Amino acid sequence: MKPLALLLLLVLVPAPSAALADGCPLPCSGQSSSPPGSKLLYVQADGSRGLLVAYNTASRQAVFALPPGMASADGRTYFSAVSAATTTVLKRWQVATAQQRGEWELRGRWTLQGVSPTGRWAALARRAGQNTGLLVFDARSGERVHVMRLRGNYEVETISRDGKRLFLIEHLAGRQYNVRQYDLSRERLVANPLRAEGVKIMAGYAWSGVASPNGRWLLTLYLSTPDNLAFVHSLDLERSRPACIGLPSGRGGAFEHLKRYSLTLSPDSRTLYAANPALGVVAELDLTRSEVKRVARFEKSAPVAGAHPATLSTISRNGRTMYFSAGRDLWAYDAAYAVVRGPYETGGKVVGVGYGAGDDRVFAVRKDGHMVGFRAASGERVT
């Protein structure tokens, strides 16, 4: 399946709350955020920028929490920003240990909107009338390295790994938008917007997303209400190239069913898995070719009433088995044979999924704080 060649109107809104999946905070899609000899599973039950709670998969207990904020794509660094009357306090933590690594007071009221893949730079924004103020902070030097003001309504998507490019969403009249790039080394907005091949104007809600730990990919799930379809907006941060990849959406798929897609990256960050129990599909996306390369189908499951929009999935270190959920039960996807197993009952609403210290156990954190374990090879419940 090739990129969507659609002439559609974008309705770009902030992504709704998304529970955490995998072994590190969103937007991370890896398992690197644990101290040696242990394995932590991170949950943001109130949203991808909400309170972060870490659970130890050995003791199955919560061990620490961090305030609402954002993690780096490699999952190692975490920022929070709290605004007062005339100042904003920016804080930085090491995710694996919850140790605070810095605290700075910035003049003015700013909102944290982006973190570079390695956690060195943080991007903040604020609106002032018809203008948008942007600030890039270097946590290594503890300095504001870029301060700019742009005419219009802009929102930060992310910062490149080298800190030289800032990727923005420019909101236009009529709910249209452009993806823009700001050249931080030259202190200028690149004149031409970044365009996806074959797509002039897109339509959909930004629902959830992940980023590759190596800093190359930013991947966002979009849902289109006028057309009842789902697609992935991939942004190649190294080549400054966006693309849209259509997902199986059924025949006039209900919006409530499309919400149940979860996104997981393969360990080598070359393949994106999009799983949806409500539609009974798992799609494998080739990111370099911007296309769906394989689809596995299984028996559909009714959507969980009141489930938060989420990226509830995790993949083993060897990339062989992915576990995913639509908010209650678990399924397992064998990436070698494109076979789905399950469902496996968890006994409650799920807000986080992740592997343990090895590939032999997988865990689900329920909304009530209880963690349940399964043998990854068979799905058998571990008491």
Structure confidence by residue, pLDDT tens digits, 138-193:
999 999 999 999 999 999 989 999 999 999 988 887 667 788 999 999 999 999 88
CA dihedral 32, 270, 214, 164 (to 10 degrees): -160
270: Cβ–Cβ under 8 A, 6 or more apart, which residues?
286, 287, 288
333: Cβ–Cβ under 8 A, 6 or more apart, which residues?
273, 275, 282, 296, 321, 322, 323, 324, 339, 340, 341
Would the CA dihedral through 305, 365, 261, 169 be positive or negative? positive
Nearest one of 83, 142, 130 to 108, comparing CA atoms:
83
- Two structure tokens written together for 352: 């986080």
Asked whether 324 and 280 are in contact (CB, 8 A), the reply is no
pLDDT, tens only, 98-142: 999 999 999 999 999 999 999 999 999 999 899 999 999 999 999
Would the CA dihedral through 196, 197, 200, 202 be positive or negative? negative
pLDDT for 225 equals 62
Q: Which residues of the chain have pLDDT under 70?
A: 1-32, 47-48, 174-175, 198-204, 225-226, 251-253, 305-310
Residue spans of beta strands (DSSP E) within 190-299: 205-211, 217-224, 229-236, 241-246, 262-265, 271-276, 281-286, 291-297
- Two structure tokens written together for 144: 């504001």
167: Cβ–Cβ under 8 A, 6 or more apart, which residues?
156, 157, 158, 159, 160, 179, 180, 181, 182, 218, 235, 237, 240
Q: How far apart are CA 259 and CA 238, in angstroms?
A: 29
Max CA pair span of the chain: 59
CA distances from 326 to 65, 290, 330 (A): 25, 25, 8
Which structural domains are found in the chain, ordered by start? 40-382 (2.140.10.30)
37: Cβ–Cβ under 8 A, 6 or more apart, which residues?
none
pLDDT for 44 equals 82
Q: How far apart are CA 56 and CA 369, in angstroms?
A: 12
Q: How far apart are CA 8 and CA 153, in angstroms?
A: 21
Would the CA dihedral through 82, 96, 264, 20 be positive or negative? negative
Nearest one of 173, 166, 167 to 130, comparing CA atoms:
173
Nearest one of 354, 368, 377 to 58, comparing CA atoms:
354
- Two structure tokens written together for 134: 């942007």
Q: How far apart are CA 229 and CA 98, in angstroms?
A: 40
pLDDT for 4 equals 41
- Two structure tokens written together for 217: 């990919």
CA dihedral 51, 56, 61, 62 (to 10 degrees): -20
- Which DSSP category does 192 fall into? S
